[in-house]
Chain A
Amino acid sequence: DAGITQSPRHKVTETGTPVTLRCHQTENHRYMYWYRQDPGHGLRLIHYSYGVKDTDKGEVSDGYSVSRSKTEDFLLTLESATSSQTSVYFCAISSPPGNNLANYGYTFGSGTRLTVV
């Protein structure tokens, strides 16, 4: 979606290596989120950020860390990739509900398909 980009779009990595996924937004939204999508599980929240240097854990945060040094960038790091982290990763941005109803939901990036071999 325009205004939010994820990189890379695909990645294959080896077990035990560190991996960093990048989410970049141009919307100046305060809130950013990382989700993973797996068959039979829907989307599950990994970590989220509510401001620069303000982050918190989601429901599946083990093995992941995040950083947000500026408003537009939110990085997700797999410290030591495992096969169980093979997944599709989505970044999303949001603003608090306001006059613009479109902000009541999220805007998603195009996703990163990560394969750990």
Chain B
Amino acid sequence: AQTVTQSQPEMSVQEAETVTLSCTYDTSESDYYLFWYKQPPSRQMILVIRQEAYKQQNATENRFSVNFQKAAKSFSLKISDSQLGDAAMYFCAYRSSGGSNYKLTFGKGTLLTVNP
């Protein structure tokens, strides 16, 4: 079974600075998808960014980018120019490409605080 590990229960960053959230995973599969979800105090789960394992290029969405290291099974999220609205719980998640009914496996989350 796949596992996802987020080793930082809490992180903090100053507004306008850059922060990196760590995620590692364990799998024997070669084809899969990785995601970062944001959960603000409203409780809504919001997709931040996704990465297909077969793509070598790191995904980028505006101020959010990932560092995907397939051999190391690492998938970190970098938030640039942090804003107060980035304060939230962030979850890393793994999904097989097929054969598992597309279940998502989540890490335990990292609570990000943004200081003004």
**Interface digits, A48-87 against B, CB 8 Å rule (1 contact, 0 not)?**
1010000010100000000000000000000000000000
Across the interface, do A110 and B101 meet the contact criterion of CB distance under 8 Å?
Answer: no
Across the interface, do B97 and A58 meet the contact criterion of CB distance under 8 Å?
Answer: no
Chain A residues with a Cβ under 8 A of chain B: 1, 31, 33, 35, 40-45, 48, 50, 56, 58, 88, 90, 92, 94, 96-97, 101, 104-106, 108, 110-111
Q: Which of A41, A96, A106 contacts B98 (CB 8 A)?
A: A96
Residues from chain B with Cβ under 8 Å of A92 in the complex: 45, 104
Is B30 interfacial (CB-CB < 8 Å)? Answer: no
Q: How many residues of B contact A (CB 8 A)?
A: 24
Give Cα distance in the complex from A79 to B95, angstroms: 30
Give Cα distance in the complex from A41 to B108, angstroms: 5
Residues from chain B with Cβ under 8 Å of A33 in the complex: 103-104
Known: A48-B103, A58-B103. 17 other contacts (CB 8 A): A1-B44, A31-B102, A42-B6, A43-B91, A45-B104, A48-B101, A50-B101, A88-B43, A92-B45, A96-B98, A97-B33, A104-B33, A105-B50, A105-B95, A105-B104, A106-B45, A108-B45
Residues from chain B with Cβ under 8 Å of A48 in the complex: 101, 103
- Min CB gap B112→A, angstroms: 15
Give Cα distance in the complex from A96 to B105, angstroms: 16
Q: Which of A31, A90, A106 contacts B101 (CB 8 A)?
A: A31
Chain B residues with a Cβ under 8 A of chain A: 6, 9, 33, 35, 43-45, 47, 50, 52, 91, 93, 95, 97-98, 101-109
- Min CB gap B9→A, angstroms: 8
Across the interface, do A42 and B43 meet the contact criterion of CB distance under 8 Å?
Answer: no
**Which of A42, A44, A92: most chain B CB closer than 10 A?**
A42
- Min CB gap A48→B, angstroms: 6
Give Cα distance in the complex from A44 to B45, angstroms: 14
Across the interface, do A108 and B103 meet the contact criterion of CB distance under 8 Å?
Answer: no
- Min CB gap A93→B, angstroms: 10
Residues from chain A with Cβ under 8 Å of B106 in the complex: 35, 42-44
**Which of B45, B47, B104: most chain A CB closer than 10 A?**
B45
Across the interface, do A106 and B104 meet the contact criterion of CB distance under 8 Å?
Answer: yes
